């Protein structure tokens, strides 16, 4: 899944793709590089990010989704927490709603259901503005698992098919380094729940912490290592900024995982 941020304040590529033409060019490039999804977002969810208005987010994402739907063969997803944006993005051509709020907003489940779209449910402690102030867990893997299953049950009870749901443990969303590492080590347990897992580790601050404070533009190697670990741990989708390089890492990791599965039966 290639990341297409249409924001001025995203942590890595904020401001790079704010015009329609630069956004479309980047989306086409990611498709050419092998993306299976392009994830279009019009509101930053980095730590401390301020929300944007519904209309501003619509103005950012809908024209890009409409054009990309015509221009590329890969699937389009929309990264949003707002039900109205979900509805309009799906009308424009998005087939997956990637919601860091796990469809908790009133009307979000109905928006996805009415559109016949799939949804990714992510775990986040608190909200983007406050999530990194003092994250705390007794058992992060158990608590994230319980939360995601609770959201699954709520979505299914309100009419979403189980097979339309993807789960995301939410690396960096209300987690310290130790929490992120525990979740990465625990991915096989999350994969055993029976839902496709989406993992987003690309360029994140935890990688900088692990690599002597490397700035965001020097975290490619660490991002590739993290994507490899995620696939070996059972992830089905990795959300990344560097599609071409990650595609090769995913191919290697997938081959290793298949060989391991064949050996263990």
Residues with catalytic roles: 204, 239
Say if CB 167 and CB 98 are below 8 A apart: no
How far apart, in whole angstroms, are the C-alpha atoms of residue 164 and residue 120? Answer: 9
For 127, phi then psi, to 5°, come to -135, 165
The two tokens of residue 14 are: 């904020």
Question: What is the Cβ-side half-sphere exposure of residue 251, based on CA atoms within 13 angstroms?
Answer: 8
Say if CB 230 and CB 206 are below 8 A apart: no
Sign of CA dihedral 157, 158, 159, 162: negative
Say if CB 90 and CB 32 are below 8 A apart: no
SS3 content of the chain, % helix, strand, coil (to 5): 50, 10, 40
Question: What is the Cβ-side half-sphere exposure of residue 91, based on CA atoms within 13 angstroms?
Answer: 10
CA 209 to chain centroid, in Å, comes to 21
Which uninterrupted H or E stretch holds 220?
Answer: helix 220-232
Which residue is associated with the tokens 């001025």? 8
């Amino acid at each position: 899944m290639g990341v297409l941020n249409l924001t001025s304040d995203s942590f890595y590529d904020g401001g790079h793709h704010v015009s329609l033409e630069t956004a479309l060019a980047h989306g086409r490039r990611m498709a050419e590089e092998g993306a299976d999804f392009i994830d279009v977002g019009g509101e930053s969810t980095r730590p401390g990010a301020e929300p944007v208005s519904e209309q501003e987010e619509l103005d950012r994402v809908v024209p890009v989704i409409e054009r990309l739907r015509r221009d590329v063969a890969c699937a389009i997803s929309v990264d949003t927490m707002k039900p109205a944006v979900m509805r309009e993005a799906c009308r424009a051509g998005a087939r997956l709603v990637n919601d860091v709020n796990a469809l908790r907003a009133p009307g979000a489940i109905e928006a996805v259901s009415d559109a016949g779209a799939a949804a990714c449910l992510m775990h986040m402690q608190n909200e983007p503005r406050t999530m990194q102030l003092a994250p705390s867990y007794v058992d992060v893997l158990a608590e994230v698992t319980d939360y995601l299953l609770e959201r699954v049950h709520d979505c299914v009870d309100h009419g979403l098919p189980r097979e339309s749901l993807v789960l995301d443990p939410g690396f960096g969303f209300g987690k310290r380094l130790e929490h992120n590492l525990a979740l990465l080590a625990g991915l096989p347990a999350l994969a055993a729940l029976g839902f496709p897992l989406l993992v987003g580790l690309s360029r994140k601050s935890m990688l900088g912490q692990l690599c002597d404070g490397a700035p965001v533009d020097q975290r490619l190697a660490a991002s590739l290592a993290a994507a490899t670990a995620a696939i070996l741990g059972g992830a089905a989708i990795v959300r990344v900024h560097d599609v071409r390089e990650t595609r090769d890492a995913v191919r290697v990791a997938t081959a290793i995982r298949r060989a391991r599965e064949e050996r263990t039966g």
